[in-house]
Amino acid sequence: MLHPPHQSLQVAAVPSQRAPARDQAGPWHTEAVCRRDEAGLFFAPSKEPTAARLAREEAAKGVCARCPVMIECREHALLQPEPYGVWGGLTAAERRVVLARRRRREMELKAVSPGNRIAAAG
Ligand code: SF4
């Protein structure tokens, strides 16, 4: 799992989220707005109250909205997939929704592909 460009004190304490691998991330990582500031905004501290989480996530999304590599970051987080934190302007829950929609769409496309229609007819 790749660590996002932003550094979080909470994340630094969690071994599974440590060890940035910028060389694996590609060039987008060097352009990340969150490399320079907003530490602690992108990952939830333990036992974060809901209202605080929502406010923090909105603030993180605001940072992402002005990031020149938001699309690349989002795709990275979807493809890995990254299970925690705000990446590319999406929370983990929002990424799960996007992935579920993609899977459903892929299944629908497979169902109507010419190869499947021939198999179903035969
Ligand atoms: S989109 Fe957000 S999380 Fe991703 S690199 Fe940019 S600021 Fe960081």
pTM passes above 0.85: no
Indicate whether residue 85 lines ligand 1 (CB < 6 A): no
Confidence at residue 20, expressed as pLDDT on a 0 to 100 scale: 33
- Centre of ligand 1 from the C-alpha of residue 79, in Å: 15
Query: What's the confidence (pLDDT) of residue 99?
Result: 98
SS3 content of the chain, % helix, strand, coil (to 5): 60, 0, 40
Percent of the chain whose predicted confidence (pLDDT) is above 90: 62
Q: How far is the CA of 117 from the centre of ligand 1 (A)?
A: 42
State in Å: Cα 20 to ligand 1 middle. 14
Distance between CA 31 and CA 57 in Å, rounded?
21
Amino acid symbol at 43: F
- Give the position, in ligand 1's atom list, of the atom nearest the Cα of 64: 2
| Local structure of 63: helix, strand or coil | helix
Amino acid letter, residue 60: A
